[in-house]
């Protein structure tokens, strides 16, 4: 059989780990196939698009693999056989995805624009794709663009606390001008979190015009107190309003395309999203306030239950949608001044890679050489809040390994909440220890959960290996 040519695009909301691990898994699987496979993988990470696919490479390919939880400009694959799956599918079953292209079982992708290069206002979703997955990808597109603002602003605010908890307050005796500067800049970054979220949800649906309406909708959500929940609603409403406008004005002469982009869609889009948000602002604001109050109350009244839920969510899919739900909730509460909730989330996110690291450290002879190397690297990844380092271990037997990781993460989160630790930064792992209130207790919580989880995982590997150490 002739060499099979495949092109692929990977992307995850954070654009740090899943994106590149999926690319590596696809390349490795391609090398191990019985059939000679030539694959090129384009990655959509936080640094932007790398190893970009050219038009000729797409044209010559026998098929395309899209393993992404965000918009990767799929319109360019019109007419090709496309396997479109979540990014984690490429980590767990890369051979199956490649085999679908080899066997020509992948469906032909039909873009809404009929295969022409998408203009700045063409709708990004096309064909008969799964509606739920399309909604999820749009949401994750917003989260992906929002996270750098959250992390950057949050860390600057956290650093300002090094000068004193009230050092940014001009009226307090501990005021420090530089701390005030850091706090102000960080606060500005935090303040655009919801508008950016809404803008890029809408951008994934209605492209540039959607982004404009979404941003304004997000600003209205912030102004009204509708917050994060209001931003999500504004993003989807703005995106689909632009889709509606594109449909209503599609019969205008092509010569007026520029007018639509620069005048008609922005003016009508902003006007319509303003009307929608005006009607929804009060009820959504009340719902948002009630939700945040409930989470805060559970945090103090039942730290055991909250820690169990947060720990299980963070370790369940390690960077996937369930993990992101807990993380984003933590960042939202953090922006409102709640430093306790994020402490548990961070602990639960740090624990999974450390669990695998301790398992390898204690029971190294029951792991392969590759796993031992990965386990040692996970001491670094876990310490810097990169949960995805545990994925290769979990992928080999998720039914057994995931509950172990969830158990260890839950212990870490529960102890964090019982200790009353406060973490003012949304990311960074142990790098932000200087600004953590109760840093030693936080370390005790994380290492307790990680070591217990590591012992259980190591004993499991010892049991399945029997008395014989693994060779290699």
Apex 317 CA angle, 313 and 319, nearest 5: 95
> What CA–CA distances, in Å, run from 404 to 353, 413, 423, 453?
12, 14, 25, 6
Cα–Cα distance for residue pair 96/84, rounded to 1 Å:
12
The C-alpha R_g of the chain, in whole angstroms, comes to: 24
Cα–Cα distance for residue pair 313/319, rounded to 1 Å:
10
Are residues 43 and 65 in contact, defined by beta-carbon separation less than 8 angstroms?
no
Where does 363-438 have alpha helices with state H? Answer: 369-383, 391-396, 398-419
- Quick one: CA torsion of 33, 36, 38, 44, rounded to 10 degrees? -10
Catalytic, out of 6, 8, 9, 12: 12
**CB-count burial class (<10 Å; 0-12, 13-18, 19+) for 298:** middle
Candidates 442, 406, 410; CA nearest to 424 is 442
Cα–Cα distance for residue pair 9/298, rounded to 1 Å:
41
Residue 91, C-beta contacts closer than 8 angstroms, at least 6 positions apart: 18, 21, 22, 25, 391, 392, 395
Q: Is 349 a catalytic residue?
A: no
Q: Which residues are catalytic?
A: 12
């Amino acid at each position: 059989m002739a060499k099979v040519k495949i092109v692929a695009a990977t992307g995850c909301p954070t654009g740090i780990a899943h994106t590149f691990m999926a690319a590596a898994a696809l390349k490795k699987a391609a090398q191990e196939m019985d059939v000679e496979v030539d694959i090129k993988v384009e990655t959509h990470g936080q640094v932007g698009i790398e190893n970009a696919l050219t038009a000729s490479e797409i044209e010559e390919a026998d098929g395309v693999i899209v393993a992404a939880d965000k918009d990767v400009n799929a319109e360019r694959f019109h007419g090709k056989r496309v396997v479109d799956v979540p990014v984690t599918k490429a980590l767990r079953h890369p051979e199956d995805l490649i085999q679908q292209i080899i066997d020509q079982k992948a469906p032909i992708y039909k873009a809404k624009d009929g295969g022409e290069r998408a203009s700045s206002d063409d709708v990004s979703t096309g064909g008969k794709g799964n509606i739920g997955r399309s909604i999820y990808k749009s949401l994750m597109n917003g989260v992906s663009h929002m996270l750098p603002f959250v992390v950057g602003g949050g860390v600057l605010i956290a650093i300002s606390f090094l000068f004193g908890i009230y050092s940014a307050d001009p009226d307090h005796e501990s005021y420090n001008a530089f701390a005030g500067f850091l706090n102000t800049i960080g606060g500005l970054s935090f303040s655009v979190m919801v508008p950016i979220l809404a803008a890029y949800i809408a951008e994934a649906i209605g492209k540039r015009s959607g982004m404009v309406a979404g941003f304004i909708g997000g600003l209205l959500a912030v102004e009204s107190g509708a917050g994060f929940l209001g931003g999500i609603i504004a993003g989807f409403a703005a995106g689909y309003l632009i889709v509606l406008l594109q449909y209503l004005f599609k019969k205008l002469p092509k010569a007026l395309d520029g007018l639509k982009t620069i005048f008609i869609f922005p003016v009508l889009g902003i006007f319509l999203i303003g009307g929608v948000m005006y009607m929804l602002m009060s009820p959504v604001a009340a719902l948002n306030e009630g939700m945040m109050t409930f989470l805060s109350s559970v945090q103090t009244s039942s730290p055991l239950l909250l820690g169990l839920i947060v720990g299980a969510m963070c370790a369940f899919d390690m960077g996937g949608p369930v993990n992101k739900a807990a993380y984003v909730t933590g960042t939202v509460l953090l922006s409102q001044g709640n430093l306790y909730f994020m402490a548990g989330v961070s602990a639960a996110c740090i624990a999974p890679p450390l669990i695998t690291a301790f398992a390898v450290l204690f029971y190294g002879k029951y792991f392969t050489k590759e796993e031992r190397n990965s386990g040692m690297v996970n001491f670094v990844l876990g310490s810097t809040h990169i949960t995805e380092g545990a994925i290769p271990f979990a992928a080999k037997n998720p039914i057994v390994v995931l509950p172990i990781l969830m158990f260890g993460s839950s212990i870490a989160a529960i102890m964090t909440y019982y200790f009353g630790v406060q973490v003012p930064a949304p990311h960074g792992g142990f790098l932000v220890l200087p600004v953590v209130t109760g840093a030693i207790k936080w370390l005790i919580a994380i290492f307790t959960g990680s070591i217990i989880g590591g012992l259980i995982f190591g004993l499991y590997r010892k049991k399945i290996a029997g008395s014989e150490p693994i060779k290699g």
